[in-house]
Structure 1
Amino acid sequence: MCRTLTALLLMLPVAVFAAEPRTLRVDYYHSGDVQTELFSLDRVVREPLPFPGNPAQPIDRTQRGKYEFQIRGADDKLLYSRSFSSIYGEWETTGEARSMYRTFHESVRFPEPESDVDLVMRKRDANNQFREIWRVRIDPDDYLVHAESAAYQPAVVAIQNSGDPATKVDLLLLGDGYRSDEHAAFIAKAHELTEALFASSPFRERRDDFNVWALAPAAAESGVSRPSTGTYRDSPFGATYDAFRSERYILTYDNREMREIISSAPYDFVEILTNTDTYGGGGIYGLYSTAAANNEWADYLFVHEFGHHFAGLADEYYTSSVAYEPPEVVIEPYEPNVTATIADGQLKWRHLTDKQTPIPTPWPKEVYEQHSNAYQEKRAALRRDNAPESAMNKLFSENRDFEEQLFSAAKYRDTIGAFEGANYQAAGYYRSELNCVMFTRTPGFCQVCANAIEQVIDEYSRASP
């Protein structure tokens, strides 16, 4: 991209985003353990840029998160809503939540209202129905509302500009752990991974509905923290491996600092690219996703984790070790791509299935599990021995080759049905197709996942439901 065009694109936040409403952000603390859950207000912030969301669809229709926030005005009228998930929501399902109390910083953003409103927080109950758990009054005219500056706006780079943020999905790519002399490498990687995302359906067909922006404040040192190997970095966004003591899980807990930086750019969704080689990533619906940008599998990591963050897709794999404890009672998941209900007429994607397809759908499950369990042992041994990343990449490739060969001979390999094994559980949960990027390192989404993604794109880019 030429310098003149880049300069013009960098001016867009000022030239194009002049329309109201402004963006109001509520920062709060989310605390508790397995028995107690508390919210407390931190501050209300008026962000420097107009609200980037779609004004034609203020009410969330997908409702895929563990939580939902609502903005309610006079007579308790619903003005705005979005469902989301959170680090706290994941943490409370870990063993650690049974032994200690923790606090996480979180934020919600919405169009600035004309007068006082109630922010209402709702959470799914044991039956996955939303129930109110917190309500706080927000006065946009309070002089304590903090007016945030767009300090990082000059550093925002347009990777793809398709038009007004109010009618586009705005994806913000953040670089963490890039020194100033590595900024060009980050921008090149942002372009590369953007292309990887739009190479897969349905993103490929809906590319014009997206804006993609990039921002990487300079880090003092290359890379991010990886505590299990004694590596610690004070990177701008605080991304770290070993989240929940899972060696490949990358998260940041520095929400307040991150929000102060990224309010300089329009965004609906965020993916953090870490300047690291070690395999890792993460994705939380409505919060952000992460990917190790320099890993050999970066394209897969970027797309897979973005599926979690963007569309609330569940993991369909079940043999990898995870920090979460299994549910005591199996209930129907709220994620669109996994199910626990396969009774006649109740399968959530039944409109896509052929009447001749057996439910549950047979697949070489025992052979897959025998190989996968042995593979996971080899993977764990490589990490314990601190083997070079090339050895891990070789193992990943060998495993993918085995899976592709095994699945290619399966009778229902191209069928939409109900394949047992999903959502971290070998039994009781089902995925819609034999393979998908949410199950293995295959490059494409299954039809159910693709449909779920399109629903979110529509919500942020279409004039009406």
Structure 2
Amino acid sequence: MHHFKKILCGGLLLTSQILYAQPVAQGAQVATVRVDVLHSGNAKQEHYALDRVLIEPLPWPGNLKKAIDTSNRGVNLFEVRDRASGALLYSRGYSTVFGEWQSTAEAAKLDRGFQESLRFPKPNHPVNLRVLKRDDKNQFQTVWSVDIDTDAPDVIRKLPESKLKPIPIHVSGNSAEKVDLLIIGDGYTQQEMKKFVADAKRMSQYLFTVSPFKERAKDFNIWGLAAPTKESGVSRPSTGQYRASSLGASYDIFGSERYVLTLDNRALRDIAQNAPYEFIEILVNNETYGGGGIFGQFSTAAANNDWANYLFVHEFGHHFAGLADEYYTSPVAYQTGGEIKQEPWEPNVTALKDPSQLKWQQHVKAGTHLPTNWPKERYEEASRAYQKIRAELRKNNRPESEMSALFKKDLIDSTLLFSKDPNYHSIGAFEGANYEAKGYYRSQMQCLMFDRSDQFCRVCQDGISSIIDLYSR
């Protein structure tokens, strides 16, 4: 598609490398521009408005030679183009909290607004910023455009000084050549700062036991950051627990008791700007199982839960690589496409409209049936019983240890069921994925994006590796 290509303009081939070359050649660091926008609407309409443009305190952490996103991930894409020539300087795919809310029942009843931020290396000239969104054919179409001069008088250049300093958790080298992941703590008091650092190190160490992160650990820098709170933990409204936390992270987002997000983007970015980052994982200082992840925005995980390591990696899979959930028997707060089985943009699920064009065909052995048989009915029968018990435990506010024990039993039972099947290790197309029992397919019977097992399937590993490549080396 045109926005992923170099642009031929006036007989000259203009690329981001040329247009950013002057400060790089002089050895100077390029500043980080953040454009805060307001994204509002309802189930059928959406609107954008410019909020503010600012220069963040730290220089751009990324590699200017990899300014153009070729991954084709995300519901949205933003482009930064030179205003005079139209040359593409920078692009990144992403998804939004608004986009998830737009598919909830509430969005059919009222309008809401959400804050979002678009970050890019400061260009030498005025630019045109464009936000694109996928249409019903999965092609990106422009939905908003605004001209920005990053040297204009109203650009915020001086921000209040912060005492927050990034804590090195796992540092491999120059940020420009690494994936920079920032772990931010929410709901940690001043007395719990050592606990936050220990939690961040524990999660990071676990991340690097899971392939392909395991093999690519040297391509990552991980930093920690936490603004202390007066009370421990974050809000969980369904149980009457409210906390004034630094990021405003909360359970019960969009009515889902386990869904943890922050809707206060400004608070998030004002804290995050004190560290080099391209990706953010928020650790909430809570025991209750919960988390969330949005591609290109952030992910969250409950640090004190027995399944914290799994939550950290699973939700990071959403945020980092745009991986889809492969499960379909658990209730979620938002809806997918319903009866219209459009081919998903996510790399690990498919509508299988044409088996000969399967996304992961290179991994499918000759003779493998598509769709691929698996003990679907037996799994669904067991899952219905499990979900009923799970709902009762939450309804009665039972101790978290009982929920954890249920999760463990469910994983043991499903793994036992799958391991006896001849297709257990096969790569094919297994119906049931993307929150839908029918019409969507995953590549393997079991994966970290399907249940609480501890490894990604081969296809998810590929999807992660390609994003690591985009930001490193």
Contact 1:304 1:438 in 2 (8 A): yes
Question: Shift in Å at residue 368 of structure 1?
Answer: 0.3
Q: How does 1:292-303 map to 2 (within 5 A)?
A: 292-303=302-313
Question: Shift in Å at residue 93 of structure 1?
Answer: 1.0
For 2:269, the aligned partner's letter is: R
Distance 1:318 1:293, change over 3 A: same
Q: How does 1:362-373 map to 2 (within 5 A)?
A: 362-373=373-384
Equivalent of 2:349 in 332, 338, 354: 338
| Worse overlay, 342-351 or 48-57 | 342-351
Equivalent of 1:110 in 114, 120, 123: 120
1:244 aligns with 2:254: yes
For 2:325, the aligned partner's letter is: D
3-state SS of paired residue (1:75): coil
For 2:124, the aligned partner's letter is: E
3-state SS of paired residue (1:310): helix
How big is each residue's C-alpha offset from its partner over 1:263-294, in whole Å with a ceiling of 9 and x where there is no partner? 01000000000000000000000000000000
How big is each residue's C-alpha offset from its partner over 1:245-276, in whole Å with a ceiling of 9 and x where there is no partner? 00000000110111111101000000000000
How big is each residue's C-alpha offset from its partner over 1:370-422, in whole Å with a ceiling of 9 and x where there is no partner? 00011011101110001010110011111011011111101111111000000
Q: How does 1:298-313 map to 2 (within 5 A)?
A: 298-313=308-323
Q: Tell me how large the CA RMSD over aligned residues is.
A: 1.1
Question: Shift in Å at residue 75 of structure 1?
Answer: 2.0
The sequence identity of aligned pairs, in percent, is: 53
User: Which residue is 1:360 aligned to?
Assistant: 371
For 1:39, the aligned partner's letter is: Y
User: Which residue is 1:440 aligned to?
Assistant: 451
3-state SS of paired residue (2:356): coil
Equivalent-residue separation in structure 1 for 2:355 and 2:150 (angstroms): 51
Equivalent-residue separation in structure 2 for 1:435 and 1:153 (angstroms): 45
Equivalent of 1:184 in 194, 213, 230: 194
After TM superposition, what 4+ stretches of structure 1 lie above 2 angstroms from structure 2? Answer: 148-155
1:274 aligns with 2:313: no
1:217 aligns with 2:239: no
Equivalent-residue separation in structure 2 for 1:148 and 1:189 (angstroms): 33
Equivalent residues, number: 445
How big is each residue's C-alpha offset from its partner over 1:191-233, in whole Å with a ceiling of 9 and x where there is no partner? 0000110000000000000000000111010000001111111
3-state SS of paired residue (2:299): strand
User: Which residue is 1:24 aligned to?
Assistant: 33
3-state SS of paired residue (1:108): strand
Q: How does 1:324-403 map to 2 (within 5 A)?
A: 324-328=334-338, 329-403=340-414
3-state SS of paired residue (1:270): strand
User: Which residue is 1:11 aligned to?
Assistant: none
Contact 1:342 1:360 in 2 (8 A): no
Contact 2:164 2:226 in 1 (8 A): no
For 2:427, the aligned partner's letter is: I
Question: Shift in Å at residue 326 of structure 1?
Answer: 4.0
Question: Shift in Å at residue 115 of structure 1?
Answer: 1.2
Equivalent of 1:35 in 44, 50, 57: 44
3-state SS of paired residue (2:292): strand
Contact 1:54 1:459 in 2 (8 A): no
Structure 1 gap ranges (5+):
1-17
How big is each residue's C-alpha offset from its partner over 1:69-126, in whole Å with a ceiling of 9 and x where there is no partner? 0001022111100000010011111111111100000000000011110000000111
Contact 2:425 2:445 in 1 (8 A): yes
Question: Shift in Å at residue 148 of structure 1?
Answer: 4.5
User: Which residue is 1:6 aligned to?
Assistant: none
Equivalent-residue separation in structure 2 for 1:326 and 1:138 (angstroms): 35
1:56 aligns with 2:55: no
3-state SS of paired residue (1:201): coil
Question: Shift in Å at residue 443 of structure 1?
Answer: 0.2
User: Which residue is 1:147 aligned to?
Assistant: 157
Structure 2 gap ranges (5+):
1-26
Equivalent of 1:427 in 432, 438, 442: 438
Contact 2:164 2:227 in 1 (8 A): no
User: Which residue is 1:262 aligned to?
Assistant: 272
Equivalent-residue separation in structure 1 for 2:75 and 2:335 (angstroms): 16
For 1:45, the aligned partner's letter is: L
Question: Shift in Å at residue 153 of structure 1?
Answer: 6.0
Contact 2:57 2:274 in 1 (8 A): yes
For 2:300, the aligned partner's letter is: T
Equivalent-residue separation in structure 2 for 1:370 and 1:257 (angstroms): 44
For 1:142, the aligned partner's letter is: A
Equivalent of 2:295 in 280, 285, 288: 285
How big is each residue's C-alpha offset from its partner over 1:342-362, in whole Å with a ceiling of 9 and x where there is no partner? 534111111110111111110
User: Which residue is 1:450 aligned to?
Assistant: 461
Superposition TM-score, scaled by structure 2 size: 0.93
Superposition TM-score, scaled by structure 1 size: 0.94
For 1:22, the aligned partner's letter is: A
Equivalent-residue separation in structure 2 for 1:114 and 1:339 (angstroms): 42
1:200 aligns with 2:210: yes
Contact 2:164 2:225 in 1 (8 A): no
Equivalent-residue separation in structure 1 for 2:92 and 2:256 (angstroms): 29
For 1:316, the aligned partner's letter is: E
User: Which residue is 1:8 aligned to?
Assistant: none
